[in-house]
Amino acid sequence: MEKPIVKDHVLKPQNDRDRLKIIVILAVPAVIENFFQTLLGFVDTYFVSQISLAAVSAVGITNAVLAIYFALFMAIGVAANVRIANFLGANQPEKARHISQQSILLAVLLGILTGIATWFFAEPLLQLMGIEDEVLELGTLYFRIVGIPSVIMSLMFVMSAILRGSGDTKTPMMISFVINGINALLDYVLIFGFLFIPELGIVGAAIATVVSRLIGSFALFFYINKNRVLAFRKDYWQLDKDHLLELSSLGAPAAGERLVMRAGQIVYFGFVVALGTNAFAAHQIAGNVEVFSYMIGYGFATAATILVGQQIGAGNLDEARKYAKLSIQFTVFCMTLLGAVLFFFGEWAAAFFTEDPAVISDIGTALKISGIFQPFLAVLLVLTGSFQGANNTKFPMYLTAVGMWAVRTVLVYLLGIRLGFGLAGVWIAIGIDIAFRSVVLVIQFQRGQWMTLEKAPEPESQCHPQTNKENMSTNSNNY
């Protein structure tokens, strides 16, 4: 088989086998990175579960609120990722470099604002969840330690997205591996104490998270500056209203999508909390086990966003569609296999977190339901990434709003609370929402109503010729 041809930042495959190879080469590092991040959540939950189920609920509730912050940070990352891919596909490396630095500035501003919000409103935000006093006290403590320095979270999200937008998915993977190892080690030492270090409990878990993210932020900053496509220029650190507006306009719908999702999640989390602390702890543990299945979906969604974005930037619309379809097909195959693992081994995994037979049973039931809906989740994740790569961030936002509020939240209440199905009803409702949104996205994709082309840059083969030459070499190495 001939190797794919690389020209002007955009790979030119000869057939579907070449395309699939390119997708896999880009996706695998992102999958591995997601695996380590998921493993970290698994390890965190395990260590925290050794403190108490109340501590598990406190961290889970806090993360539900922090997910609103993540939504904002990820939105900037999505916008930066897409525009960098577009500009590189159109042979405009200086614009890619400029917008990457502007996205870092925007991340800093947003991180500072969310940190201030945490300082003043940590406890009131958690009180909205209607949690018990013990959980509230632990959650407020954890939230303040992790959330006040949220600029670190913001920078990690955005700088990882910048590297991926340039086609470099390996560096974020390696950094994730290192900082997750550091986090796990610090978790053990700070939660349970070691030698002269006292036992800090949930405070230790929070400190471990912040320290590892800080190390990751420095590492990402260093590697972006080493990247020959994106290396920083001093004159690009001045705020540029046009690029900030561009990032905001593209990122706002992505932020809206995640905010709608997280707001709805907070509401239906309240329904789960009403089922009792043990039920909510089971829900959180099941979520931390299930999220292993997301690692493949998000990894291939990342590849789809990069490749579709580059092809849109280069004006190769048919090629963008082919990459999206292949990404969907391969991801469905992989996540169906993972769904079978969840279905048959869910209770076995649950036993690592608790010895309570009722909680183990609830976790097993939730994971069986999740396993059935994995193929739909694969379609949803990859097509959302494809839409975003095609500069269409609005439709996923609208669809998420309908799915979360008209389908998921309503059904969680009806099935979980009113009809008395408990946690099983909650997970059935989640699965129905995922299936509904995946079907709608497929229909839009088949109709060809998934690209937004008016903002895609025109190819500019003569722009900064020397930089282009360097960037082509670097980009080929990234693949």
Angle at 258 between CA 282 and CA 291, to 5 degrees: 35
In a domain, 463, yes or no: no
Lowest mean pLDDT among 9-18, 74-83, 125-134, 210-219: 9-18
Residue 334 neighbours by CB under 8 Å, 6+ apart: 296, 300, 378
**Mean per-residue pLDDT for 344-355?**
80
Lowest mean pLDDT among 91-100, 252-261, 414-423, 454-463: 454-463
pLDDT digits (tens, 9 = 90+) for 259-281: 787 777 777 777 887 788 778 78
In a domain, 73, yes or no: yes
Q: What is the pLDDT of residue 465?
A: 35
Residue 355 neighbours by CB under 8 Å, 6+ apart: none
In a domain, 469, yes or no: no
**Mean per-residue pLDDT for 305-311?**
89
| Residue 373, domain extent | 8-450
Whats the size of the chain, residue-wise?
479
- For residue 187, pLDDT over 90 is answered with no
Here the tokens at position 439 are 């079907």
User: Of 457, 308, 455, which is closest to residue 387 (Cα–Cα)?
Assistant: 308
- Grade residue 130 by pLDDT with cuts at 50, 70 and 90: low
pLDDT digits (tens, 9 = 90+) for 151-166: 998 999 899 999 988 8
User: Of 179, 157, 166, 199, which is closest to residue 39 (Cα–Cα)?
Assistant: 179
Q: What is the pLDDT of residue 217?
A: 93
**Mean per-residue pLDDT for 325-341?**
93
- For residue 457, pLDDT over 90 is answered with no
Q: What is the pLDDT of residue 41?
A: 63
Q: What is the pLDDT of residue 11?
A: 55
Cβ–Cβ < 8 Å for 252, 75: yes
Residue 458 neighbours by CB under 8 Å, 6+ apart: 90, 315
Cβ–Cβ < 8 Å for 451, 320: yes
Cβ–Cβ < 8 Å for 21, 4: yes
- For residue 468, pLDDT over 60 is answered with no
Amino acid at 117: A
Who wins on pLDDT, 89 or 373? 373
How far apart are the C-alpha atoms of 306 and 422, rounded to whole Å? 40
Q: Which position has the token pair 């976790």?
A: 363
Q: What is the domain count for the chain?
A: 1
How far apart are the C-alpha atoms of 308 and 321, rounded to whole Å? 7
- For residue 299, pLDDT over 50 is answered with yes
Amino acid at 90: A
Mean pLDDT (the chain, rounded): 82
How far apart are the C-alpha atoms of 336 and 293, rounded to whole Å? 9
In a domain, 461, yes or no: no
- For residue 443, pLDDT over 90 is answered with yes
In a domain, 456, yes or no: no
Cβ–Cβ < 8 Å for 163, 223: yes
- Grade residue 469 by pLDDT with cuts at 50, 70 and 90: very low
In a domain, 458, yes or no: no
In a domain, 217, yes or no: yes
- Grade residue 233 by pLDDT with cuts at 50, 70 and 90: confident
Residue 7: C-alpha distances to residues 12, 226, 468 (Å):
7, 22, 10
- Grade residue 40 by pLDDT with cuts at 50, 70 and 90: low
In a domain, 473, yes or no: no
How far apart are the C-alpha atoms of 478 and 86, rounded to whole Å? 16
Here the tokens at position 158 are 């955005």
Residue 274 neighbours by CB under 8 Å, 6+ apart: 130, 417
Q: What is the pLDDT of residue 133?
A: 73
- Grade residue 196 by pLDDT with cuts at 50, 70 and 90: confident
- For residue 471, pLDDT over 60 is answered with no
- For residue 93, pLDDT over 70 is answered with yes
User: Of 166, 44, 55, which is closest to residue 101 (Cα–Cα)?
Assistant: 166
Angle at 191 between CA 189 and CA 193, to 5 degrees: 50
- For residue 186, pLDDT over 70 is answered with yes
How far apart are the C-alpha atoms of 89 and 141, rounded to whole Å? 46
Q: Give the highest mean pLDDT range of 7-11, 378-382, 386-390.
A: 378-382
Here the tokens at position 434 are 């995922």
- For residue 4, pLDDT over 80 is answered with no
Q: What is the pLDDT of residue 453?
A: 57
User: Of 295, 236, 308, which is closest to residue 78 (Cα–Cα)?
Assistant: 308
Q: What is the pLDDT of residue 474?
A: 32
Q: Give the highest mean pLDDT range of 64-68, 114-118, 119-123.
A: 114-118
Q: Which position has the token pair 């909510």?
A: 280
Who wins on pLDDT, 441 or 358? 441
